Chains A and B, each alone.
Chain A
Amino acid sequence: METTIVDAKMSKEKIARIIKTFSLALIVIAMVSFAVSMFTVTETLTESLFTEETEEPIQVSVMGDPISGTLTGIASLRIVGGGVMSTNVSATLEILDAQGNTLFSGSNSTTVSPGEIKYLTMRFSISDIDLEALETLNASLRLGFRTFFNLIGMEFSTGLRSEGD
């Protein structure tokens, strides 16, 4: 009878130790995942956007046809995978007129592995606009970098403004 009580106590202490070990393991997993994910995201981000190579990371070419009132273009983003995990990169482009009305909205995404180079392209076409009267064109670009099963990431939003000639 005495042995059973001692065994029960031992098992409780053992349970507490096992739970504590699990807890510590989870803390280590969280810290390692955080460090590795942040490293991957920042490496992909810096290698893609702040590269010292001659090629510009974001290239936009726009063509306008004043007769048909159509504005077509292509935006291309060069993505270089960095870090130790694959990264999902998404881009959303919104083109607005001077009054803030959305003329075009489109997005695209791709997944890059470390060391891999990919191009994220978005084609846009805006029709029935008065190109002569269009003095300013506002755009907003949102770039998302996600890793660790798309659960950890950073998203950047910035406004772009092109002045007419």
Chain B
Amino acid sequence: MSRKNKAIISAGIYVLLLVVLPSVGLAMAPADIVQYASIIFGKGLRSIVITFSVLGIILGCLSVVRGVVKEESYVYLISGILMPVIWYYLTLYGLGFGRPGNFGRTFILMSRDGSTMSVLIDIRIILVILGFAFALEIASTLVEFLAAREKVGDTAPEN
């Protein structure tokens, strides 16, 4: 399979997973559940789905760009760096229930029949591991880019 085809398939998967499925899920969910979830998370589910959709479209576009441009071009490098960064933000955003700044310490306040219960979810270690993983992904893109540049330099006609 060519690089271009792979990129188009990846873009399709990004759009399906981050744009289509969340939007369909939100549209099919009962209104009271959506409202209750929005109260619990302190953030509208609609705005979370919109953020996912926007980032999904950006990831899809970057995937197509990476498949079209040459490996030695700076566009390939920049898109290769941007993709893990966006993925990491998406992870922070998703696991933080719409609050990426909490960095894995999510606080949820629930009220029922006059009594209040707060829940604190701590998953910082997962985000630290994922941070390392995405940093390695960027490093791999850089090395790949350098190798491609060297390859072009070697094959270029000498004057």
Asked whether A29 is an interface residue with its Cβ less than 8 Å from the other chain, the reply is yes
Identify B116's interface contact among A17, A24, A158, CB under 8 A.
Answer: A158
A19 touches B122 (CB 8 A): no
Asked whether B118 is an interface residue with its Cβ less than 8 Å from the other chain, the reply is yes
A19 touches B139 (CB 8 A): yes
B147 touches A12 (CB 8 A): yes
| A33-B140 Cα distance, complex, nearest whole Å | 24
B119 touches A154 (CB 8 A): yes
A154 touches B143 (CB 8 A): no
| A89-B130 Cα distance, complex, nearest whole Å | 26
B117 touches A12 (CB 8 A): no
| A24-B122 Cα distance, complex, nearest whole Å | 23
Chain A, residue nearest B91 (CB): A30
| Complex interface: chain A residues within 8 A of B150 (CB) | 5, 8-9, 12
Chain A nearest CB: distance from B107 CB in Å? Answer: 9
**Given A9-B150, A12-B147, A13-B147, CB of A26 within 8 Å of CB of B122:** no
Asked whether B134 is an interface residue with its Cβ less than 8 Å from the other chain, the reply is yes
Chain B, residue nearest A151 (CB): B125
A contact residues, total (Cβ < 8 Å): 31
| Complex interface: chain A residues within 8 A of B154 (CB) | 5, 9
A26 touches B117 (CB 8 A): no
A23 touches B136 (CB 8 A): yes
B116 touches A159 (CB 8 A): yes
**From DSSP, what is the main secondary structure of chain B's interface residues?**
helix
| Complex interface: chain A residues within 8 A of B141 (CB) | 16
Chain B nearest CB: distance from A15 CB in Å? Answer: 5
Asked whether B54 is an interface residue with its Cβ less than 8 Å from the other chain, the reply is no
> Which residues of chain B from 132 to 149 have any CB-CB distance to chain A below 8 Å in the complex?
132-134, 136-137, 139-141, 143-144, 146-147
| Complex interface: chain A residues within 8 A of B132 (CB) | 26
Asked whether A50 is an interface residue with its Cβ less than 8 Å from the other chain, the reply is no
A158 touches B115 (CB 8 A): yes
Asked whether A98 is an interface residue with its Cβ less than 8 Å from the other chain, the reply is no
| Complex interface: chain B residues within 8 A of A60 (CB) | none
| Complex interface: chain B residues within 8 A of A157 (CB) | 117-118, 120
A155 touches B122 (CB 8 A): yes
Chain A nearest CB: distance from B96 CB in Å? Answer: 13
| A148-B128 Cα distance, complex, nearest whole Å | 14
B125 touches A148 (CB 8 A): yes
**Given A13-B147, A26-B130, CB of A155 within 8 Å of CB of B120:** yes
Apart from A5-B150, A9-B150, A15-B143: 19 A-B pairs, beta carbons within 8 A: A9-B154, A12-B143, A13-B147, A16-B143, A19-B137, A29-B129, A30-B126, A30-B133, A152-B123, A153-B122, A154-B120, A154-B122, A155-B122, A156-B117, A156-B119, A157-B120, A158-B116, A159-B115, A159-B116
Interfacial residues, chain A to chain B (CB-CB below 8 A): 5, 8-9, 12-13, 15-17, 19-20, 22-24, 26-27, 29-30, 33-34, 37, 146, 148, 151-159
